[in-house]
Amino acid sequence: MDYNNMNYKLWHGCDRGLCSCACGRQDHQLNTYDWLADVPGNAESTDLVEVQFKNTRKGYYHNVNHLPLAKGDYVAVEANPGHDIGVVTLTGRLVLLQIRKANLKSADDIKRIYRKAKPVDMDKYREAKAREHATMIESRKIAKGLGLDMKIGDVEFQGDGNKAIFYYIADERVDFRQLIKDLAAAFHVRIEMKQIGARQEAGRIGGTGPCGRELCCATWMKNFSTVSTTSARIQDLSLNPTKLAGMCAKLKCCLNYEVDEYIEARKELPSKEIVLETQDGEYHLFKVDILSGLCTYSTDKKLAANLEMISAARAREIIEMNKRGEKPLSLQSDGNVKKPEKPVDILANDDIARFDKTKKRKKKKQRKTAEKGQNAKPADNGGKPNGKQNGKAAGRGRQADKADTKKNAPKPAAKTGNGPEE
């Protein structure tokens, strides 16, 4: 039983290259769906095999020994020097199309497959992979000690452990001749340096984008096209660098996904330079909703005044009428003038006596407080109440007593001119 192939099927859920997690994970982003796998004799149509290594590196090899290979098999392939260990990702006629897409310059780039990986080969392979992270950390220290303006983003060891590929990032050209000598002396392997960009580094590290999904460059993207701010302008996006930049600090690759759709939709919209003339005035294009095909016009060229929204078809109809010298009654399709909006009464459905209830509640609270002040017992310290609250209550009680005394006091007798008061 072929346990390698069986494990591959269990992990991916399919033997043709599609991962069961919709978009493939980081180490399977180069998988190709083999839609010819069910065709009889497809695997024997060519001896070319596609083999994938760590992350985004894969190569094409001749199966000169006619081994019965299937997707997911680990094989030992020819390398310079020694041999490398990779996993078969594609066989059959689709490999010819993949080679054409890869633009291989010569047939010498296609090497041979030695054999299926043996347990001894797999042990060396795992031992070499276990050294990669520690090697990367140490190589960064060596590069920093030499004062080189570069960053080593990843290290990949060959399957037999005789060679290491150092992936680095640098804005300018770097002279790393001394670095290669120091790395070879430190790790005792053959050194190869490969420069990558910020997008490739983000794809190797992985992460989650602002959309909530895993980064495209870490799941399925393998070819990176140029992204410019023109794509954002076409889609009427705000030119905010913090929102347009991705995890790699470059413009997001997804800005190019819908550009073609927006360009096609814009062809149906009127030009911003065209002024619509009606019997009630002139209207200038203020803003557009590209995908829904709606245009908003303003009576002022620079400000939002008397805004009216119409469809792109209605705008083109008015443009044709203006070319014939005709002016419609208004922008609306039925010819009716837009009714002015009435001011909205915020208190239309509210109770106007709602504040009176609040005042009554406050008066009740004041009366209760006054009653508590009257019933408060004097303290031992000269009859003064204890605490600030008791003092306030007592004060309110005294004021209430004074008011009651004034009410109940007898009225003075009226004065007469004969003599003093009795």
pLDDT of residue 420: 42
**Can you give the pTM of this predicted structure?**
0.60
Distance, CA of 242 to CA of 246 (rounded, Å): 8
177: closest CA among 193, 163, 197?
A: 193
CA distance 63 to 112: 6
Token pair of 251, please? 């413009």
pLDDT, one tens digit for every residue, the chain (422 residues): 444 444 444 344 454 444 444 343 444 556 677 888 888 888 788 889 999 887 668 889 999 888 988 888 999 999 988 899 999 988 888 888 888 877 776 667 789 999 999 999 999 999 999 999 999 999 999 999 999 999 998 899 998 889 999 999 998 888 888 999 999 999 999 999 999 888 888 888 888 888 888 888 887 777 788 899 999 999 988 888 888 999 888 999 999 999 999 999 988 889 888 999 888 888 999 988 888 889 999 988 888 888 888 889 999 999 999 999 888 888 887 656 555 566 666 666 666 666 666 666 777 777 778 877 776 555 444 444 454 444 444 455 555 454 555 445 454 444 444 444 43
pLDDT of residue 336: 60
Listed residue (153, 140, 141, 123) closest to 56, CA to CA: 153
CA 379 from chain center: how many Å? 69
CB neighbour list of residue 232: distance below 8 Å, 6 or more residues apart: 238, 239, 244, 251, 255
Question: Which pLDDT belongs to residue 348?
Answer: 65
pLDDT, position 329: 85
Q: What's the pLDDT score for residue 28?
A: 53
Instruction: Supply the pLDDT for residue 17.
Output: 46
**Which residues lie across from 111 on neighbouring strands?**
61
Residue 96: how many CB atoms within 10 A of its CB? 13
pLDDT, position 15: 47
Q: How far apart are CA 122 and CA 163, in angstroms?
A: 16
**Helix (H), strand (E) at residue 85:** strand 83-91
- Give residue limits of the domains in the chain: 3-117, 127-201, 225-267, 268-340
**Are 170 and 186 in contact, with CB atoms under 8 Å apart?**
no
C-alpha 395, offset from chain centre: 64
Q: Given this model, what pLDDT does residue 397 score? A: 52
Burial of 262 (0-12, 13-18, 19+ CB in 10 A): middle
Fold adopted by 127-201? GMP Synthetase; Chain A, domain 3 (3.30.300)
